[in-house]
Amino acid sequence: MFNTRHDRVAGLGNSEGSQRALNMLFALRTIQERTGRDLGATFLSGTTISNSLTELYLLFKYLRPKELERQGIKTFDAWAAIFAKKTTDYEFSVTNEIVQKERFRYFIKVPELAAFYSEITDYRTAKDIGIDRPEKSEIMHNIPPTPQQEEFIAKLVEFARTGDAELLGRLPLSESEEKAKMLIATDYARKMSLDMRMIDPEKYDDHIDNKASHCAAQIAQYYRKYDEQKGTQFVFSDLGTYKPGEWNPYSEIKRKLVEDHGIPANEIRFIQEAKTDKARKAMIEGMNQGNIRVLFGSTSMLGTGVNAQKRAVAVHHLDTPWRPSDLQQRDGRAVRKGNEVAKLYADNKVDVIIYAVEKSLDSYKFNLLHNKQLFIEQLKNNRLGSRTIDEGSMDEKSGMNFSEYVAILSGNTDLLEKAKLEKKITALESERQAFSRSKWTSETKLKDIRNTTESNNQIIDRLKADWDIFNSRVQVDSEGNRLNHITLNGVDGSDPKNIGARLSEYAEKARTQNSDFNIGSLYGFNIVVKTESSASDLFEMTQNRFFIIGESGIHYSHNNGKIAEDPMLASMNFLNALDKIPKLIEKYISDNEKVAKDIPVLESVLSSTWKKEDELKELKTELSILDRKIQLSLKPIEQGEQHGEQQQEQVIGQPHQIIPSATASVVSREPSQTGRQSENFGQSIAYAAQPSKADGEPSTHIYSEQSYQPLPQSKGYKL
Instruction: Please tell me the number of Cα atoms within 13 Å of 554 on its side-chain side.
Output: 21
What confidence score (pLDDT) does residue 719 get? 26
Question: Which is more confident, 166 or 696?
Answer: 166
Give 617-633 pLDDT, tens digit per residue: 998 898 888 888 877 76
This prediction has a pTM of 0.52
Which of these, 529, 571, 569, lies nearest to 549 by C-alpha position?
529
**Residue 641: pLDDT band by 50, 70, 90 thresholds?**
very low
| Number of Cβ within a 10 Å radius of residue 281 | 11
Alpha carbon 529 to chain centroid distance? 57
DSSP 228: T
Burial category of 566 from C-beta neighbours within 10 Å (exposed 0-12, middle 13-18, buried 19 and up)? exposed
Start-to-end CA span in the chain (Å)? 38
- 317, 352 contact by CB (below 8 A): yes
- The whole-number average pLDDT for the span 224-249 is 91
Alpha carbons 674 and 652: distance in angstroms, whole number = 8
pLDDT of 338 strictly over 80: yes
- The whole-number average pLDDT for the span 175-190 is 79
b/e code 669-693 from CB counts within 10 Å (16+ = b): beeeebeeeeeebeebbbbbbbebe
What confidence score (pLDDT) does residue 412 get? 62
Highest mean pLDDT among 8-12, 93-97, 392-396, 674-678: 8-12
What confidence score (pLDDT) does residue 470 get? 92
Residue 582 φ/ψ, nearest 5 degrees: -60, -40
- 94, 70 contact by CB (below 8 A): no
Which of these, 58, 35, 106, lies nearest to 68 by C-alpha position?
58
Residue 356, helix vs strand vs coil: strand
Give 428-448 pLDDT, tens digit per residue: 887 787 788 888 888 999 999
Which of these, 410, 356, 364, lies nearest to 158 by C-alpha position?
410
Question: Which is more confident, 659 or 276?
Answer: 276
Highest mean pLDDT among 8-17, 33-42, 421-430, 455-464: 455-464
- For 159, 164, 483, the CA distances from 497, given in Å and listed in that order, are 108, 112, 16
What confidence score (pLDDT) does residue 674 get? 35
Angle, alpha carbons 547-552-553 (nearest 5°): 40
Mean pLDDT of the chain: 77
**Residue 669: pLDDT band by 50, 70, 90 thresholds?**
very low
Among the ranges given (10-19, 30-39, 60-69), the one the predictor scored with the smallest mean pLDDT: 10-19
What confidence score (pLDDT) does residue 530 get? 92
Alpha carbons 193 and 206: distance in angstroms, whole number = 13
pLDDT of 357 strictly over 70: yes
- 702, 686 contact by CB (below 8 A): yes
Give 686-710 pLDDT, tens digit per residue: 333 333 333 344 333 333 333 333 3
Alpha carbons 437 and 494: distance in angstroms, whole number = 62
- The whole-number average pLDDT for the span 232-250 is 90
